[in-house]
Amino acid sequence: MGGRRQKQASDALVRQLTLLFQLMQRERGMTLLELQAVMELPKATFHRYLDAFKLADIPIDRECVNGCTRYCLSPELRMSLAITPEQLDALRVARRSVTALEGSHVTQGLDALIRQAARRSGTYASRVRVRQGKMASPDALKEIERAFASQRRVVIRYRGERDAASRARIVEPLLLRYVNGHVYLHAFDVDRGGTRTFKLDRISSAQCSRERANPHVVDETAFRQSIKAWLGAPTRIAVQLSPRAARIADEYRLVDDQVVDDSGRLSATVNGIPEAMRWVLSWGKDAEALEPKALRDAVAAEIHAAASLYVGAGFKPAQSTPAQPNTARDRAPVGAGFKPALSTTHALAPTKVAAKKTRARRSTSLTDRETAAE
């Protein structure tokens, strides 16, 4: 019985707020018939709400126009509810920040609020600029939201990072995540029998199907240790940062609960290895993966593969002033067959053409440059 009364009170509050919102939209007010057409409120209920507003010191004015009584908010109340130019600018900044969600109820709701507020707000010279993210397919996002609302499966055309072409996937949507300007769909993959994360930028099309989706329990806490959207086994990692990187590590956080000690050693728990590997690589020479071995080996393999694109073919690295020694720079991440690149204070090995010339002469007549290369 208590639960039913609580729901009735909650429903009544929602209807009262909706009534106020409708009156706020119309400066000239609305007749009882117009309100009933919009809200389907019985006449007795409407007058009961008016009495409740009066007790709450919310003035509703009555005005007779052409023989019809129109109800409207008082000018004082309307002014108190009006949005300021600064608030309108904040809405516009928020709207530009979620371009990746174009076509969703989020952007549609913000657009409606901005249109409504712009009619009443003054001008304001904004000093905030937002770099808009890549827009996902609005049509695909609409279909995914339709699948959410109707609790149905959706067929997406998805091209994964390693896929040569897009493929059809039947999924049951669970959650949309907006991270760093990108939108990710967390869904149950029917064919693979497990949850997967899909980047909306890689979904070329989506179609809500007639098949009902199975109920699933969504554990949002599972993303706490995700750097972006990766779901893997929680893994404890350690990364040695240079003094420069340690000072600004909080600006480019790996995860929220990361800890950097006085020596620059970062410790954190993350979901799996792949995203952590990319984070370490983004620091270049200012970060060294220490633990676990799988992370260290993965970083080393990527560095080795990248270095192979530049070493040879007569490449000579630019000379640079010797840097101050630090732990992260001086210990090369050796492992998994990784061979550290030569220091920039030495030239690289000679090319094949240079090697042939070298063999044609006596080794004692090598030029200074070739000697340095040795």
Q: Report pLDDT digits (tens) over 110-141.
A: 888 788 777 666 666 666 777 766 677 888 98
CA–CA distance, 73 with 28 (Å, rounded to integer): 9
Is pLDDT of 341 > 70?
no
pTM: 0.58
Is pLDDT of 1 > 60?
no
DSSP conformation class of 303: H
CA angle, 218 then 222 then 227, to 5°: 130
The tokens 């909306």 sit on which residue? 200
CA–CA distance, 138 with 92 (Å, rounded to integer): 19
The arithmetic mean of pLDDT across residues 36-59, rounded, is: 82
CA–CA distance, 339 with 351 (Å, rounded to integer): 19
Is pLDDT of 44 > 90?
no
The arithmetic mean of pLDDT across residues 291-301, rounded, is: 96
The tokens 């995914």 sit on which residue? 144
CA–CA distance, 136 with 183 (Å, rounded to integer): 8
Buried b (16+ CB within 10 A) or exposed e, 223-235: bebbbbbbeeeeb
CATH number at 138-218: 2.30.30
Residues of the chain with CATH 1.10.10.10: 13-81
- CB count in 10 Å sphere of residue 276: 27
Tell me the CATH number of domain 13-81, given options 3.30.230.10, 1.10.10.10, 1.10.645.10, 3.40.1350.10: 1.10.10.10
**pLDDT bucket at 322, cuts 50 / 70 / 90:** very low
DSSP conformation class of 56: T
* Highest mean pLDDT (candidates 28-32, 122-126, 168-172): 168-172
Residues of the chain with CATH 2.30.30: 138-218
Is pLDDT of 269 > 90?
yes
Contact 168, 156 (CB under 8 A): yes
Look over the chain and give the mean of its residue pLDDT values, rounded to a whole number. 78
**pLDDT bucket at 66, cuts 50 / 70 / 90:** confident
Contact 238, 267 (CB under 8 A): yes
Strands 60-65 and 68-73: antiparallel
Q: Which residue has the higher pLDDT, 343 or 74?
A: 74
DSSP conformation class of 122: -
Distances (CA, A) of 268 to 222, 242, 259, 330: 15, 17, 7, 23
**pLDDT bucket at 82, cuts 50 / 70 / 90:** low
Distance of CA 31 to the CA centre of its chain: 45
DSSP conformation class of 233: -
Token pair in block for residue 138: 């609005």
Residue 292 preceded by cis peptide, ω within 30: yes
- Determine the straight-line distance between the first and last CA of the chain, rounded to whole angstroms: 89
Contact 102, 140 (CB under 8 A): no
Q: Burial level of 164, CB count in 10 A (0-12/13-18/19+)?
A: exposed
What pLDDT sits at residue 356? 41
